[in-house]
Structure formats: C-alpha cells, structure tokens
Amino acid sequence: MISSRGYAAFTPKGELAPFDFERREPEPNDVVIEILYCGICHSDIHQVREEWGPSHFPLVPGHEIIGKVVRTGSAVTRFKPGDVAGVGVFVDSCRECAECRSGNEHFCVKAPVWTYNAEDPRHGGFTYGGYSNNIVVHEDYVLRIPPGLDLAAAAPLLCAGITTYSPLRHWKVGPGQKVGIVGLGGLGHMALKFSRALGASHIVQFTTSPNKRDDALRLGAHEVVISRDERAVMAHAGTFDFILDAVSANHDVNVLLSLLKRDGHLVLVGLPSEPLAVGAFPLISGRKSLSGSMIGGIRETQEMLDFCGAHGIVADIERIPIQKVNEAYERTIRADVKYRFVIDLSSLK
Ligand code: NAP
Ligand code: ZN
Ligand code: ZN
C-alpha cells in the first residue's frame, strides 16, 4: 500500500484536521500522482456538512486536483513519470454502459465513482480526495494539462471549469446572445470567462455582493446587476437567451425564469440543499426551459482544458496552505473568496 497524508473532516460539525491513510498499490493501468494543488469547491463544503445527505467519515475532500506523475503501472501508455496530470470529480465508472461508452462517464448508469466520499466498487472501501499528498487513478480518468498554464490556477478547471464550460457549449452560447450568470463564486467567475471567450454578445453578472462589481467587469461581464435590487433585476425581464445559475444557497428561480426571452433556457449548476419551488406560470409563458447540468465527461473535460490552453484561461485564485482550510470554508460560505481557494499541498510536508 502507499501511505498518504491529508486533511479530513471527522464529523459534519467539526473542523478538518490531519489524517493518515493508505492508497492502493498501482495496478497495471494506474497512475500515481503526487498532488501539487487542489481547489476548494463549494461541493466539498456541502458534503462535509452533510447538506446533501449522509457522508462517510473520515472524509478527505478535494476534486480539483493537479499534480505530477511519479509512478505508472506496467500497462500505462498515456502518462510517464514527470508528466503534469489532473483529476476531477470522478475517478472511475462502470466503463460498460451506454453513457460510459459514449464519453458521458459522469452520467454512468451505475453512478461514477466520485473522487471522495464514495464507495469504490472495484477496490472496496471509500475514496479519498485531493486535500492530500498523493492519489492513485486509472489512466482513463486522468487528464492532461496543456503547457503554459499556471498549475495552481488551473486546478479549479477540473470542476468549476468543466461544470460551466459544458452547459455553455451544450446550449451553444455564442455571438448574438444575451447571457446571464447568477452568483460570482468559483463556478460563476469561470462561466464569465468562458462566455466571453465563446463570444456571447452581452453578458450580465447577477451578484448579491456589490463589492464584486469591478471584478465582474474585469472577468468578462458587460453589465453587473445587484440581485437584491428588484427594480434593476426586472429591468431585464424577457430579454435573456440563456441564464446559468451557479448559486450555492437556496434562492428563488422564478424571478430568473421571468428574465428569459421566449424559448430561453435557465440552466442550474448550483446545488442548494432545499428542493426548488418552481411556479408553472413563469415556465409556460414564453415556452421557457429549466434544465440542469453536472460536470462533464472525460473527453469534454480534456476539450475544455485544451480550450483553456489555447485561450490562456485559468481561475482567479487565493492560494493557501492546508492549515488555513477551515478558515477558507468559512469565507467561502460568506461568499468572500476571489474567486477560488486553492490549497498548496507542499504545506503538508
Ligand atoms: P461558491 O464559490 O461558494 O459561489 C457561490 C456563489 O453563490 C457565491 O459566491 C455568491 O455569489 C452566491 N450566493 C451565495 N449565497 C447566496 C444567496 N443566499 N443568494 C444568492 N446568491 C448567493 O460556490 P461554487 O464552488 O462556485 O459552487 C456553486 C454551487 O455549484 C454549489 O452549490 C456547488 O455544490 C455546485 N456545484 C455543482 C456542480 C455541478 O456539476 N452541477 C459542480 C460543482 C459545484 P455573489 O457573491 O456573487 O452573490
Ligand atoms: Zn466541485
Ligand atoms: Zn457506466
């Protein structure tokens, strides 16, 4: 076994603290990665705090992982020691169902094996994530990081990046369209960068934080609306082709539906704990669509990373030692992060 050191939550109420554990010896197709950086996604916090249901403790979170390959199994062809590699939100899937075979492993009918807090059906036990010094992953679930990107700032691409890129591509956001982004956090700020890079004609950032206005404009918004200002919000009624909702807390989506044009799309990526209350009337008038989107498959994640390499896109980050993870959680919950915390794992040593 490979010995690993990380930070874990031991109870949903407690703080994260050092935790030693073991990972499997590499199998023929496995890649052993020494983790350099790991982003803090709000999903980590939801799961540590059991906001989506029961979690398995000790819980080592982290699914925005970038590191260096240090060992490979005998049959690995795509990676060699010294390569930079990324791991996202899942580390395996059944590999046999129609979703897996079509590159939609994230929609695997048996459920993907999440990078942490998940039972690992192939190896037994539970998975441990990237707030740790190493990880062992089958090469088919490992991503290549294009050269030239800052590695710490590229880590959030593995979740915040793909989660926003995928719906923007699926709904063909581009020139001629008016696009709204709701919530300027880790996901929201990547959505702004991608919407701009894809050529959307008018991008409006909705935020509850007036102090983020200048940043939103710098990150790609043409216009910023303070979402608690009802008059300013309703001035946009009936005008959007597409709105991406990246809010982590419970909120009213009916007002967002009323901002769409006929046949417009509201797409949820945020995952608040409470069920949505959606009125029928805002949906039927104007034949609007409410959809959701979850991360992306391996092929599309690689496409997103290559797009970022070509366009020089990375996250805006606050780099922290792992000892500050509990403080970073509190600040993320207060929407006080610009715009993603990334843990420098060299601080574990
Ligand atoms: P984050 O960095 O904490 O950003 C969330 C943002 O939501 C905040 O910065 C804030 O933006 C806004 N917000 C917070 N409380 C609010 C409230 N009460 N009302 C309105 N807006 C509020 O979180 P994240 O990492 O980007 O993740 C966002 C959500 O997406 C989380 O629920 C996460 O679990 C989920 N997620 C989903 C997927 C997927 O595959 N679908 C993948 C990753 C994450 P302002 O300050 O601008 O208002
Ligand atoms: Zn995430
Ligand atoms: Zn499958």
Q: How many angstroms separate the alpha carbon of residue 121 from the centre of ligand 3?
A: 12
**DSSP H or E stretch at residue 317:** strand 317-321
CA of 157 to the centre of ligand 2 (A): 10
pTM exceeds 0.85: yes
- pLDDT at residue 336 in the model: 96
Mean pLDDT of 112-126: 97
pLDDT confidence tier of residue 349, bands split at 50, 70 and 90: confident
Q: Which two tokens stand for residue 119?
A: 């039972």
What's the gap in Å between 141 CA and the centre of ligand 3?
A: 13
Question: Rounded to an integer, what distance in angstroms lies between the CA atom of residue 328 and that of residue 340?
Answer: 10
pLDDT of residue 13: 85
> Six-digit token pair at 269?
């990526």
5-30 average pLDDT score: 97
- Mean predicted confidence (pLDDT) in 51-80: 98
Segment 73-87 mean pLDDT: 98
Q: 265-279 b/e with 16+ CB inside 10 Å = b? A: bbbbbbebeeeeeee
Pairing label, strands 30-39, 340-344: antiparallel
Which H or E run contains 243? Answer: strand 240-245
- pLDDT category, 52, cuts 50, 70, 90? very high
> What's the N-to-C CA distance of the chain in angstroms?
20
Work out whether strand 223-226 and strand 240-245 pair parallel, antiparallel, or are unpaired: unpaired
With the most atoms of ligand 1 within 8 angstroms of its CB, the residue from 40, 42, 268 to mutate is 42
In the predicted model, what is the mean pLDDT of the chain?
A: 98
The percent of residues above 70 in pLDDT, for the chain, comes to 100
* Of 104, 112, 107, 87, the residue nearest 30 (C-alpha): 87
pLDDT of 175: 98
Query: DSSP code of 312?
Result: T
Stated as kind and residue range, the H or E segment containing 144 is strand 143-144
Cβ pair 186, 42 in contact under 8 A: yes
Which ligand approaches the C-alpha of residue 211 most closely? 1
Question: How far apart, in whole angstroms, are the C-alpha atoms of residue 72 and residue 56?
Answer: 29
Cα angle 137-132-313, degrees, rounded to a multiple of 5: 75
Give 240's strand partners. 260
- Determine the distance separating the centroid of ligand 3 and the alpha carbon of 25, expressed in angstroms: 24
Pocket of ligand 1 (CB under 6 A): 41-43, 46, 159-160, 163, 183-188, 207-209, 212, 246-249, 251, 269-271, 293-295, 332, 335, 337
